[in-house]
């Protein structure tokens, strides 16, 4: 049953036929929102919880979440929005048919959240891109908060219907109010009143309780727990010392990271939980990786990771390999000079996965991989100025300047 329309704050003119229609349209629109989900990180989990059975947003007319902007009139932004997503978000918003609404859920979408102070990639507020109707604060907001935000949006939609362009013209004598400014002014007024009342109450309390000394906070001492020993890594594959022996026979100049003047005995002392971390020269980098992959005893056939570290005076390119058949692992490091674009051979011919890892390392550190079939940025826009994980990268949007 359709409930009684609330009393309109806008005077209904005589002979105006459209107002009830507007009211019904507004009521229908507010109660049949179709959300396009834009869940990018942790807040999206709360948004999913809001849709699921315990909270069940279908009770509010938000029926099926849409996967296409063309079938949605509400976009719920739930999670961090990064620069590269910015243009995609605008496209999605533009593709939604009007009238359309936006809920910004969580600190990240509202202001950049925990990434406000120190991030080269996070947009500091969705309303820098598209207009936001309702902000739901929290990190993350609970489902109840999102449902409250939905109810607030429904109120706005119902009110908005009274200002619908189909309404009889004289109604436009009332200016369309700027809700945000009005809300901020109301809030300021309330805060002022609250502060005055608080001051009065404090004065009164002092007069009525002259002996009051304040409240002493007693901290609860936290319980002490016994140290839990780490679960030992299952021993699989060749022992590290044997791995080292095999490599040393073929590459006598091989070093081991953080073990000066390395010997077989020193590696044996490190025990079976240690993962060999070898340091190789630029000339031996590719031959060593090729050997690790092709030697029958080693068969390091899986590239777990390829990345880099900026030590300010040099870079380390680090490759983490695993033998899936045998189970042993190894780290391989190669030092590169701290130039603008240091270069090293690509492993993309040996491991298909190296293609993406090397693109990522190029994107963040500017390291060139010789022989890579398609070396271009992966996460950042093509025109991003610089490589953000380098220590010498200067980010003008950073709120807190780093000490290096
Ligand atoms: S606001 Fe908090 S919970 Fe939500 S996406 Fe950001 S960090 Fe995650």
What is the tens place of the pLDDT at every residue in 89-128? 999 998 998 889 999 999 999 999 998 888 888 888 888 8
- Determine the pLDDT at residue 49: 95
Token duo for residue 41: 């990180």
- Determine the pLDDT at residue 180: 64
Tell me, yes or no, whether 395 lies in a domain. Answer: no
| Structural domain range at position 245 | 240-370
Q: Categorize the per-residue pLDDT at 12 as very low, low, confident or very high, splitting at 50, 70 and 90.
A: low
125 in the same domain as 36:
yes
Counting atoms of ligand 1 from 1, which one is nearest the CA of 42?
Answer: 8
Lowest-confidence pick of 64-68, 156-160, 166-170, 245-249 = 166-170
Tell me which of 80, 112, 121 to substitute to probe ligand 1's pocket, judged by most ligand atoms within 8 Å of the beta carbon.
80
Q: What is the pTM of this model?
A: 0.68
Ligand 1: which residues within 6 Å by Cβ?
41-43, 79-80, 106-108, 113-114, 139-140
163 in the same domain as 25:
yes
Q: What is the mean pLDDT of residues 277-284?
A: 96
- Determine the pLDDT at residue 6: 55
CATH code at 251? 3.30.460.80
135 in the same domain as 264:
no
175 in the same domain as 28:
yes
Q: Is 108 exposed, middle or buried (0-12, 13-18, 19+ CB in 10 A)?
A: buried
DSSP SS3 for 331: strand
Identify the residue with better confidence: 282 or 385: 282
340 in the same domain as 249:
yes
62 in the same domain as 158:
yes
CATH code at 23? 3.40.50.12280
Ligand 1: centre distance to CA 260 (Å): 44
CA-nearest residue for atom 8, ligand 1, is 42
Under 8 Å between Cβ of 282 and 334? yes
Identify the residue with better confidence: 163 or 235: 235
Token pair 């969580």: residue? 106
Tell me, yes or no, whether 229 lies in a domain. Answer: no
What is the tens place of the pLDDT at every residue in 35-73? 998 999 999 999 999 999 899 999 998 878 888 999 999
Q: What is the mean pLDDT of residues 257-274?
A: 88
Tell me, yes or no, whether 67 lies in a domain. Answer: yes
Lowest-confidence pick of 139-148, 204-213, 367-376 = 204-213
Q: Which residues of 365-391 are buried (b: 16+ CB within 10 A; e: fewer)?
A: bbbbbeebeebebbebeeeeeebbbbe
Q: What is the side-by-side strand order in the sheet with 134-136? A: 35-39, 74-78, 101-105, 134-136
- Determine the pLDDT at residue 175: 47
- Determine the pLDDT at residue 169: 40
How many domains in the chain?
Answer: 2
Token duo for residue 15: 């002979």
Q: What is the mean pLDDT of the chain?
A: 87
Residues 6+ apart with CB under 8 A from 345: 285, 286, 369, 370, 371
Q: 336 phi and psi, to 5 degrees?
A: -125, 150
175 in the same domain as 250:
no
CA dist 362 to 152, 340, 395, Å? 46, 11, 18
170 in the same domain as 65:
yes
What is the tens place of the pLDDT at every residue in 291-333? 999 999 999 999 999 999 999 999 999 999 999 999 999 999 9
35 in the same domain as 154:
yes
Q: What is the mean pLDDT of residues 367-375?
A: 96
Q: What is the mean pLDDT of residues 4-28?
A: 64
Under 8 Å between Cβ of 62 and 50? no
The H or E element spanning position 348 is none
Tell me, yes or no, whether 364 lies in a domain. Answer: yes
Tell me, yes or no, whether 202 lies in a domain. Answer: no
Ligand 1: centre distance to CA 45 (Å): 10
Tell me, yes or no, whether 123 lies in a domain. Answer: yes
DSSP SS3 for 347: coil
162 in the same domain as 263:
no
Q: What is the mean pLDDT of residues 361-372?
A: 96
176 in the same domain as 36:
yes
Residues 329 and 331: their CA atoms lie apart, in Å, by 7
The H or E element spanning position 310 is strand 302-310
Tell me, yes or no, whether 389 lies in a domain. Answer: no
Residues 109 and 119: their CA atoms lie apart, in Å, by 14
- Determine the pLDDT at residue 212: 87
Q: Which residues of 280-299 are buried (b: 16+ CB within 10 A; e: fewer)?
A: beeebbbebbebbbeeeebb
287 in the same domain as 146:
no
Domain boundary (153, 184, 215) is at 184
Tell me, yes or no, whether 8 lies in a domain. Answer: no
């Amino acid at each position: 049953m359709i409930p009684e329309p609330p009393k309109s704050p806008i005077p209904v003119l005589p002979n105006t036929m459209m107002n009830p229609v507007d009211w019904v349209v507004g009521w229908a629109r507010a109660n049949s929102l179709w959300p396009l989900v834009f869940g990018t990180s942790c807040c999206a989990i709360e948004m999913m919880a809001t849709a699921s059975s315990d909270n069940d947003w279908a009770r509010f007319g938000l029926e099926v979440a849409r996967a296409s902007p063309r079938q949605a009139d509400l976009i719920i932004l739930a999670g961090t929005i990064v620069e590269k997503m910015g243009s995609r978000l605008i496209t999605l918003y533009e593709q939604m048919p009007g009238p359309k609404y936006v809920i910004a859920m969580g600190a990240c979408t509202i202001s950049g959240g925990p990434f406000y102070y120190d991030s080269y990639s996070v947009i500091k507020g969705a309303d820098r891109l598209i207009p936001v109707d309702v902000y739901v604060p929290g990190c993350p907001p609970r489902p109840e908060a999102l449902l409250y935000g939905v109810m607030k949006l429904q109120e706005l939609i119902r009110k908005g219907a009274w200002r619908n362009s189909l309404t009889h013209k004289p109604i436009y004598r009332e200016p369309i109010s700027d809700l945000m400014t009005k809300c901020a002014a109301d809030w300021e007024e309330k805060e002022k009143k609250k502060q005055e009342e608080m001051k009065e109450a404090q004065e009164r309390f002092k007069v009525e309780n002259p002996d009051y000394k304040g409240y002493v906070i007693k901290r609860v001492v936290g319980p002490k727990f016994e140290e839990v020993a780490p679960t030992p890594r299952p021993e699989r594959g060749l022992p590290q010392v044997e791995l080292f022996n095999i490599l040393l026979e073929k590459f006598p100049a091989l070093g081991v990271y953080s073990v000066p003047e390395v010997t077989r005995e020193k590696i044996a002392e490190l025990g079976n939980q240690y993962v060999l971390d070898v340091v190789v020269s630029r000339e031996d980098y590719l031959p060593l990786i090729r050997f690790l992959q092709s030697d029958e005893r080693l068969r390091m056939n899986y590239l777990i990771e390829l990345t880099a570290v900026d030590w300010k005076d040099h870079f380390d390119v680090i490759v983490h390999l695993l033998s899936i058949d045998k189970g042993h692992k190894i780290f391989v490091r190669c030092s590169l000079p701290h130039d603008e674009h240091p270069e090293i051979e690509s492993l993309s011919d040996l491991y298909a996965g190296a293609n993406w890892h090397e693109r990522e390392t190029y994107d963040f550190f500017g390291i060139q991989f010789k022989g890579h079939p398609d070396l271009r940025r992966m996460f950042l826009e093509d025109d991003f100025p610089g490589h953000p994980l380098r220590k010498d990268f200067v980010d003008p949007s950073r709120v807190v300047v780093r000490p290096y």
